[in-house]
Amino acid sequence: MNSTRFLRFTLASICGLAGLRSAVAESYYADGLYGWYEGGPALVEDAKIEGSALRNSYGFSVNGNNVKFDTGFHFGLGIGQELTRFLRVELESGFNYNSLRSIEDADASSGNIYRVPILANVVLQYPNRTRFVPMIGAGAGAHWAVLDAQNISLGSTSLNDDSSTWTFGYQGYAGVRYQFRENMNLGVFYHYSVADGPSWEFDSAPGGNFKLDSLRTHTLSLTYGWDF
């Protein structure tokens, strides 16, 4: 799958979720239904190559070698329902981007990783007499991850194609929102999310795959939310 097709799918997914939000609002209006947008930087921890037949220029396995990433960005959106004053459930998606900084023992490591999460969250909040509402949540679901290998060279192996995969994902997050109007709010939230064991298939790779132990991402997002 090439980058253009991936970006089209991402935009379609985001627009589809926004359309679902509008459809829900029109067909089922109830107190406690809300939505939000968010965006901010995304920092991915160093990952390790695992379960791969790839070798470096000296013929040694690169399993366990570090993969480093540049700071990228995160965009998210979602819809939710307040079940009680203290409990919420949510459906969240978005788009994450990070470029490769380096791969240990690689002669070249130019590429990008794109991720589209689809997560269901459970959220606890603490309403109080102020306009500031602290929140903490956790969720699980799946990540659609694309490795755009522009020029990755490990020994005699060169990767210069796109590959996509689905993988299990989960997250935890915490933050605070400020209710500046009756039905609108701004917030600051920290997310820690994990895409577990993504593995991409490449025809040019020995054994066919390039696999990482996990993608562990830290994001700090500004949010804009509204109540329907």
The secondary structure of 106-148, three-state, reads CCEEEEEEEEEEEEEEEEEECCCCCCEEEEEEEEEEEEEEEEE
207: left (phi over 0), alpha (psi -120 to 50) or beta: left
First-to-last alpha carbon distance for the chain, in angstroms, is: 38
Query: Domain range holding 128?
Result: 3-227
pLDDT at 110: 96
197 and 212 Cβ atoms separated by less than 8 Å: yes
Q: What is the CA radius of gyration of the chain?
A: 20
- State residue 204's pLDDT score: 84
pLDDT (tens place) for every residue of the chain, 228 residues total: 565 555 565 555 555 555 544 444 443 334 689 999 999 999 999 999 998 778 888 888 999 999 999 999 999 999 999 999 999 999 999 999 999 999 999 999 999 999 999 999 999 999 999 999 999 999 999 999 999 999 999 988 899 999 999 999 999 999 999 999 989 999 999 999 999 999 999 988 887 789 999 999 999 999 999 999
Cα–Cα distance for residue pair 33/169, rounded to 1 Å: 25
pLDDT score at 117: 98
pTM: 0.85
Residue 80, strand partner residues: 34, 90
203 half-sphere exposure, CB direction, 13 A CA radius: 4
Phi and psi angles of residue 11, each rounded to the nearest 5 degrees, phi first: -60, -40
Calpha distance 152→201 (Å, rounded): 14
Q: The CATH number of the domain where 205 resides is what?
A: 2.40.160.20
Residue 6, pLDDT score = 54
- Alpha-carbon distance 68 to 223, whole Å? 28
For the chain, how many structural domains are there in total? 1
Question: Per the structure block, which two tokens stand in for 187?
Answer: 């917030």
How many other C-beta atoms can be found within 10 angstroms of the C-beta atom of residue 212? Answer: 22
